[in-house]
A and B are shown apart, each in its own frame.
Chain A
Amino acid sequence: MNHHQALKQIPYLGNGLGFRSELKSFTFLNRDKISFVEIIADHYIDAPGSKMKELERLMANFTVIPHGIGLSLGTVSGLDEGYLKKLGELIRYIAPPYWSEHIAHTRAHGSDIGHLAPIIYNNAFLNVLGANIEQVRQEIPYPLILENITYHVDLPGREMSDAAFLNRLCDLTGCGLLLDITNLYINSRNMHFDPYAFLDQIEHKHIVQLHYVGCEDDGNQYTDTHARATQAEIFELMEYLFRKHMPKAVLLERDSRYEYTEEISGDLIKAKELLQHVRL
């Protein structure tokens, strides 16, 4: 089975929540709204026994999708092999239907950025990603989907639009797309492009999963704080996409202000209703 066929075999997972330890009780008490969870893979690498017990409990109750943040697929000098090996051990242990990483780099030789930084949307970086993903596949034989990030620096040397780059990347590598619809919304605001045109240009067959959460606007820039209730404009983008293509999974990615459980519940209910409404 080739990579594209493997993506087609991914089951429908529905409405999920990004699991965080702070949301442990909430996650188990709201199983009617949560049909799968995504974990940050890095939290369970070289982790103490209590974290691994937490993972086992999650695996016993939900489909668990590992989401990597530290692989740095866009690093030109190549991957950290020690990290890749440990990530591979974790993912083989979970044996998920697929896993995900970002189209970004978090380090360059001599510099550890510590967060997701953008790459240039050009052919040279398509080759960098292609080579790194090929290496990843030798270690991790599970379908990989790639997430678009927010970018505040428009790096010189761009050769194609966001949608064209993502289409070519998925065609070239056989990876699926984890479309972060909030990141799309943020980038469209900060870089002044039409997010609906993006949704028309992106090849829908690539989209396996969505991420969504609220964002912040400081009057100058929109940022992905993952700390707010999802804005109506973002749900409207989701609905627009759902009418053209239904992803296998949709996930709320909240990383802060966990005590506002009504906001989190509200977002999960809206997404679930949207999924059911459009599927009918």
Chain B
Amino acid sequence: MSIEDKQVIVSRLYTDETYLNRFLASKERFFAEEQILELDTRSFLDALKPEQLRFFANNLRAKHYHETLRLIPLTHYVLEKDIKDRFREFSLNPGKYGIHRTHEEALAFLTFLQQSASHNTFLQSVLRFESAMIQHFLHPVAYKPVLFRYNVFDMLVALRLGNTPSVRKGFTLLIFRKDKPPKVFGLKA
């Protein structure tokens, strides 16, 4: 097996928790299932220290988690401690991201949360709002209106100022503008 193949296996051990758990549970079974036959590769993988692999994998996941939270402060505020477990569920299936990895990963996490929050219109508004903010960063357009059922922009501003955001229901129109702050309009139902 080439050093490229070894690098691929090690990278997957760092990032794929299920794969790592299978490896640490029984190396012989893992080698058989993954059809790793060469003695050189087996001895390379055998020499990896489980506690170091586990620490690095956990550390990587924690870095991804904290970087993601920085981009979705309102979702973090609304979900509170639950967000950690949800991110862990989300990270069981690592994705492929590009140059703006942190933004793309945060966007994928918001999509993951949206899929299980269809019954909660408030949370849906928050998730759609932060998705729209990130999408506008990644793909800015001159003018993009988005309608929400809660004034999430005001909530974000309050949060950033260190205040407790109040939840106000009512149609809110946000117009995202390229290289300018969004405009916010309150609408009567």
Q: What sequence of 0s and 1s flags, for each residue 1-41 of chain B, a beta carbon within 8 Å of any chain A beta carbon? A: 01110011011101110000000000000000000000000
Tell me, yes or no, whether A159 is within 8 Å of chain B by CB.
no
Give the distance to chain B from A23, nearest Cβ to Cβ, in Å: 14
Tell me, yes or no, whether A31 is within 8 Å of chain B by CB.
no
Assuming the contacts A76-B7, A152-B59, A221-B55, asked whether A49 and B99 have C-beta atoms less than 8 A apart, the reply is no
Interface segment among B44-52, B79-87, B110-118, B150-158: the answer is B44-52
Residues of B within 8 A of A155 (CB): 10, 48
Tell me, yes or no, whether B185 is within 8 Å of chain A by CB.
no
Closest B residue to A256 by beta carbon equals B66
Interface segment among A108-116, A261-269, A272-280: the answer is A108-116
Asked if residues A83 and B15 are in contact (CB atoms below 8 Å), the reply is no
User: How far, in whole Å, are A221 and B8 apart by their CA atoms in the complex?
Assistant: 25
Asked if residues B2 and A152 are in contact (CB atoms below 8 Å), the reply is no
Asked if residues A153 and B99 are in contact (CB atoms below 8 Å), the reply is no
Tell me, yes or no, whether B96 is within 8 Å of chain A by CB.
yes
Assuming the contacts A83-B99, A153-B49, asked whether A49 and B11 have C-beta atoms less than 8 A apart, the reply is no
The answer, among A48, A77, A117, A120, for a CB contact under 8 Å with B14, is A117
Give the distance to chain A from B63, nearest Cβ to Cβ, in Å: 6
Q: What sequence of 0s and 1s flags, for each residue 83-119 of chain B, a beta carbon within 8 Å of any chain A beta carbon? A: 0000000000011110111000100000000000000
Give the distance to chain A from B164, nearest Cβ to Cβ, in Å: 18
Asked if residues A108 and B44 are in contact (CB atoms below 8 Å), the reply is no
Asked if residues B99 and A111 are in contact (CB atoms below 8 Å), the reply is no
Residues of A within 8 A of B52 (CB): 152-154
Tell me, yes or no, whether A50 is within 8 Å of chain B by CB.
yes
Tell me, yes or no, whether A75 is within 8 Å of chain B by CB.
yes
- Residues in A102-127 with C-beta less than 8 Å from chain B: 105, 107-115, 117, 120, 124-125
User: How far, in whole Å, are A7 and B101 apart by their CA atoms in the complex?
Assistant: 32
Closest A residue to B139 by beta carbon equals A48
User: How far, in whole Å, are A120 and B48 apart by their CA atoms in the complex?
Assistant: 12
Tell me, yes or no, whether B53 is within 8 Å of chain A by CB.
yes
Closest A residue to B137 by beta carbon equals A48
Tell me, yes or no, whether B178 is within 8 Å of chain A by CB.
yes
The answer, among A70, A76, A120, A220, for a CB contact under 8 Å with B4, is A76
Tell me, yes or no, whether A200 is within 8 Å of chain B by CB.
no
Asked if residues A114 and B64 are in contact (CB atoms below 8 Å), the reply is yes
Asked if residues B140 and A124 are in contact (CB atoms below 8 Å), the reply is no
Tell me, yes or no, whether B77 is within 8 Å of chain A by CB.
no
Q: What sequence of 0s and 1s flags, for each residue 191-233 of chain A, a beta carbon within 8 Å of any chain B beta carbon? A: 0000000000000000000000000000011010000000000
Residues of A within 8 A of B47 (CB): 156
A-B CB proximity, top 4 nearest: A156-B47, A111-B11, A76-B4, A108-B11
Beyond contacts A105-B7, A152-B52: 18 other A-B pairs, Cβ-Cβ < 8 A, are A46-B100, A48-B137, A49-B178, A50-B179, A76-B4, A76-B7, A86-B99, A108-B4, A108-B7, A109-B8, A113-B15, A114-B15, A114-B64, A114-B105, A117-B14, A152-B55, A155-B48, A156-B47
